[in-house]
Structure 1
C-alpha cells in the first residue's frame, strides 16, 4: 500500500483552515437548532474571526444573555505536540506571547466589566497524560477544574499552578478563575469531528451526508472570503435553502449517559448524567446503579425529562450511552400518544419514530411453558438469543409466569444487523406490539427482557400502549443474571 507524502506548508495551512470552518459550521448548526426548538437563550449569531475579542476570535457564539462562547481553534497534522504545559506556555514561533498568555489577556478583556464568559481551546491534539494539570481534565466538562485547584503550594500540582500563573500574568486565584471557564475540547481528530458534525446536521434537520458537510464548511469559507464576520440566523437559513440542505425537523436533544460521558452533552437541551452513579470500572461492566442510587431514581429522572425540554418541543433526539432498559423507558416516556417525534442515535444514524415503512413486520414467535403463575414473560431476541438465560432466571427466581414468549426477527435468526435501519426497526416494533396485544390480552403483568439494538428498544417503548403493566429487566450478567429495572403502566 502506497503511503501519503508528508504534508507541505500549503497543505497544513489549508487543512487547518478547513478544520476551523468545520468548527464554525458546528456553531451554525447550534444556531439553527436552538432557534428552531425555542431553546432558552439561543445563539443569535456566529462570529468567525470576529473583531474586538482578542485572540479567542476564531469562532464566537453570540447570545442575548451572557455567557458568549469564544473558541480558539488549533490544528496539527501529527501527534508530536500534545496539549501540556510546554505547548501552552512556550512563546510563539515568532517570539510572541504563549497560547496561555494570549488566552489570559483575552479573558481579562472579556471579563473587565465583571461579565461571564465561556472560553474554549478546540484542537485535534491529545492530552499529555504526564502533565499534572492537563491530565486532570474532567472529560464531562472539558475543564481542568476542580483537580487543578487541589493540593498545596509545595506539591507538584501546586508548583505547576504557580508556573502557569506566572506565565499567564495572573495571580494563582485568578488562574483558577480562568480555568473555571476555559474548556479544553481535545482529541477532536478530523475523522471523528466530521462524523460528529454529520450527526449534528441530522439533529438540526439537515441532510447529513459527506457532500452536505462539505457544502456547509465551504459556505463558511466563502463567507469569510467575502468579509462577513457575523453570521445571523437569517443568513444561515438562507444558506440552508440555497444549498438545499433541509431534510426534516430540528430536534431538541436529550442526553442520557450511564456508561460513559456523552460527547453530545454540551449541545443538549437537557442532560441526565449517571456515569458516576453506575457500578463498574469500565463501559462494559456498568450495568446497574451503584448504591445508594436506584433504578427508581433513574426512572424519575427520565420521566421528568419532557418537562425539562423547551416548551412546545415536538421532536426529540436522545443521545448518549445507555443500556436497553433505560432506552425502552425513554421510548415509553415520549410514547407515540404524546405526539412527540422521537429519534435515537443508532450506529451514527437517527432512528426516528416518524420514519416511514411499508407494512408491519410480524416477529417469529416461540413459547416455553413455565407454569409458575398467570403472568407472562417476553424476550425480544434480535441481536442475540437470551432464551436459555431468561428461562434459568425465571425458574430460579420463581417469578409468577405461565410461559415465556420469545420474539425473533422475521426468519427467526437473532444476530447483529438483523434490524438494519430505522424503517425496519419501526416495522418490527409495530409487529412486536401487535403480537403482544393479542398474546397478553387477558394478562395482568408482563416481564420484559431485551436483547436488541438500543434504537429498537427506544422505538418499541414509544409504541408501548394498550398493553398490560410491564416490568422491564436489565441484563447485569452477575449474580442472578438479570435485575428488574422499571415498572411501566401501558
Structure 2
C-alpha cells in the first residue's frame, strides 16, 4: 500500500511516499490524461527523463514538436512565495539556482524551429510585491510581453538586468527565455485533483476520488519501476487493468467568471470573463464593471453551446469559478430537454445531472406578499435563508413582484443540506416542481430567481428549469449590498 508522509526534505522515490511525491505523481497523471484525450497534440509522457536538462519532472511530447517541460515544486508551507530569492538562491557555490536550471535547460532545448514550453508548477504563491513577478499575465502565465515593455528606468527592467547578471548572459537572453517560461503558482493539491477528475470524466473514465487515487497509483508504479517513457498504449493498458473505463469521452466547458484556470487548454470550450468583472480578487468579483457585460457573457455562452452542439457533444463536464446566477444559467443553456447531460465536480465528487435520485423530504414553502406588480419572485436557500435580504431588496428596488416564494430544506438551511449527487438531482426536481405548482395557482409571466446553495445544485437546477416562465436570475452582491440582475433564462 502506498503511504503518504509529510516531509520537509527532498521527495523520496522509495516505497514510502511523501507529499512531494504525491503532488508530482498527480501532475504526472494529469499529463497522462492529456495524452489519451482524443483532441490533443501529445503522444507520450515522460517522467524524470534524461537529456532535457533540469526540467525533467514531467515532459509531454507533442506531434507538432512544441514539447512541454514541467518542473514540479512542492512546499509543505504553501504561503512560501516564488520570489527573487527563491529563484536565484544557490545552496552552495557549485549548485545551480532554480533560475539557472531553467536557463541552462532553455539553452539546451531552444535549438530547433519549435521553441520548448517550460513550466514551473508549484503550490507556492507568487510574490505580489516583486517588480517583475507581479507582472505575470494571468491569461498566459508569462512575464512577457510585460517584461519586454518595461521602461529602462523601471524596477522591472532592473530586475531583468539582475537576472542577466545572475545568469551571466545578456538582457535579451533573459527576455527570450521568458517567452517560453510559464509560472503556474498556487496549484493546490485539491485544485489539481479537481482538474484530474474533470480530465478523467472528459476521457470517459470514472471520476470519483477512489478512481483518481488508483489512476495516480499508475504513475507511482511507473516511477518506482523505473519506467520513464509512457505511450498512449501504455496508459490505455493500465486503465483497462484497473477497470477505470466508464463511458465515451466528454466535452469540457470551462467558465472563467470570477477566477482564471491555469490550464484552459484542457477544455473543449473555454470562456474568460475575469476582466469584465469589478474587483481584483475572486471574492470581490460579483458584478461586471459595465452592466452591458451581462449580455456579452450571455452571448458568448450561447455561442459556445452552439459550437458544442454542432459537434454532436451532448455530455458535458462543466468547470470553472463562478457564482450562483452563472451556474444556473450555464445549466439552463445546457438544458436537459435538449438531451444534454452535464457533470460538475462538487467538493471532489462528480455531480452528474443523470445521477439516480435519492429521496429527500419536500422543501418547505412560505409566501411573502410584496404587492408591487404581477411577477413572482423565488428565493431558494439551501445554505442560508435569503428571505430577509431578498424581501428588503425587492421592496427597495421597486421590482414589479406580487409575492415571494421561499423554498428551504425541510430541516432548515445549512451548508450540508445536499449530501451528494443523488440528493442534488432530487432537490433540482423538487424545487422546480414547487415553482411550477405555484405558477399553476398564481400565474405569472416572469420569475425573479435568487439562489443560495452549492454551485453544483444551481447548475443542475438550471439544467431542469423548463415549463416555468421566463426567469431573471440575480447575483448576490454581499451582505447588506442587495442583488443585481444577471442573466435571463427563457423557460
Tell me which residue corresponds to 1:337: 337
Report the equivalent of 2:27.
23
Partner Cα separation in structure 2 for residue 160 and residue 8 of structure 1: 30
Q: Deviations over 1:53-92 (max 9, x none)?
A: 3433321122323532111233456679853334434557
Alignment of 1:242-257 (within 5 A): 242-247=241-246, 250-257=249-256
Shift in Å at residue 250 of structure 1?
A: 4.2
Whether 2:451 is the aligned partner of 1:447: answer no
* Aligned partners of 2:472 and 2:486 also within 8 Å: yes
1:183-262 alignment runs, 5 A limit: 183-188=182-187, 193-194=192-193, 197-198=196-197, 200-201=199-200, 204-207=203-206, 212-247=211-246, 250-262=249-261
1:374 partnered with 2:349: no
For residues 123 and 364 of structure 1, the distance between their equivalents in structure 2, rounded to whole angstroms, comes to: 46
In terms of mean alpha carbon deviation, does 341-350 or 263-272 score higher? 263-272
Alignment check: 8 A CA contact 2:24 2:72 kept: yes
Which residue pairs with 1:383 in the alignment?
383
Change (3 A) 1:222 1:278: same
Q: Which runs of 5+ in 1 are unaligned?
A: none
Whether the aligned pair in 2 keeps the contact of 1:264 and 1:319 (CA below 8 Å) is no
Change (3 A) 1:232 1:118: same
Are residue 461 (structure 1) and residue 465 (structure 2) matched? no
* Unmatched runs of 5 consecutive residues or more in structure 2: none
Instruction: Give the alignment's TM-score, normalised by structure 1.
Output: 0.85
* Count of paired positions: 481
Q: Quote the Cα distance in structure 2 between the aligned partners of 1:242 and 1:9.
A: 32
**SS of alignment partner, residue 330 of structure 2:** helix
After superposition, where does 1:244-323 map in structure 2 within 5 Å?
Answer: 244-247=243-246, 250-263=249-262, 265-291=264-290, 293-309=292-308, 311-323=311-323
Distance 1:186 1:382, change over 3 A: closer
Look up the SS of the partner of 1:284 in the other structure. Answer: helix
Distance change in 2, residues 1:9/1:291 (3 Å): closer
TM-score, reference length from structure 2: 0.85
Q: Deviations over 1:369-421 (max 9, x none)?
A: 33333332222222222223323333334333332222222x26222222222
Q: 1:362 and 1:284 mapped to 2: Cα distance?
A: 32
Per-residue deviation at 1:46? Answer: 1.3
The residue aligned with 1:57 is 56
Cα offset, 1:154, TM superposition:
3.4
Deviates more, 1:333-342 or 1:5-14: 5-14
Once the two structures are overlaid, the 10-residue window that deviates more, 114-123 or 11-20, is 11-20
